[in-house]
């Protein structure tokens, strides 16, 4: 019976999807990510909240990334996500000082059963043929356009137009995406 419950919680993956060692999928009410055909997911950590949904298109490659999802993270087809990239669709902490104190109490051993204050959450969308370099951080509410190129180490807090290249912290437009 326990093995049947565990099997029901495992994400359903096509047989041609490769999941490498070190990949971790966690969450409160885990239904798992939806993964397309011919993907390679290696050493990726998925942390999916009770209302979170992760969708990964066909022919994607994710290497040692972190996806933290409370609402939605949607990755299109033919997307590459470099190692140590972080994609996060929520703040995961309140901004106001009073709310931060309440959050710290809720996290402490004395705060068992106390609710965490609400925090901002907005979906992240990465469109087809985008490249996300290593050590990139993509924050809540961002849309990375089709064919966009996000350089290594960029912190992306605003949308990236299709076919454009960004770099830096904060990420800024520096030209067209390289031809691929």
pTM: 0.80
Euclidean distance between CA atoms 72 and 48, whole angstroms: 9
> How confident is the model at residue 12, as a pLDDT?
59
> How confident is the model at residue 26, as a pLDDT?
57
Q: Name the CATH architecture for the domain at 15-173.
A: 3 Solenoid (2.160)
Q: What is the mean pLDDT of residues 20-36?
A: 66
- Taking residue 59's Cβ as centre, other Cβ atoms within 10 Å add up to 16
pLDDT bin (cut points 50, 70, 90) of residue 2 is very low
Question: 117-169, pLDDT tens digit by residue?
Answer: 677 889 999 999 999 999 999 999 999 999 999 999 999 999 999 999 999 99
Domain boundaries in the chain? 15-173
Residues in a beta bridge with 88:
68
Euclidean distance between CA atoms 46 and 117, whole angstroms: 23
């Amino acid at each position: 019976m326990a093995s049947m419950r565990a099997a029901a919680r495992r994400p359903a993956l096509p047989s041609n999807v490769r999941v490498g060692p070190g990949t971790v999928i966690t969450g409160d009410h885990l239904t798992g990510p939806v993964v397309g055909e011919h993907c390679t997911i290696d050493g990726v950590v998925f942390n999916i909240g009770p209302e979170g949904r992760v969708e990964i298109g066909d022919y994607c490659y994710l290497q040692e990334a972190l996806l933290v999802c409370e609402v939605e993270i949607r990755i299109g087809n033919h997307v590459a996500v470099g190692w140590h990239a972080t994609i996060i669709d929520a703040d995961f902490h309140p901004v106001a000082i009073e709310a931060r104190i309440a959050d710290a109490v809720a996290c402490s051993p004395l705060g068992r059963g106390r609710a965490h204050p609400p925090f901002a959450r907005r979906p992240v969308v990465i469109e087809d043929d985008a490249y996300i370099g290593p050590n990139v951080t993509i924050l809540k509410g961002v849309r990375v356009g089709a064919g966009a190129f996000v350089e290594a180490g960029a912190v992306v807090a605003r949308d990236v137009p299709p076919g454009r290249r960004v770099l830096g912290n904060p990420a800024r437009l520096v030209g067209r995406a390289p031809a691929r």
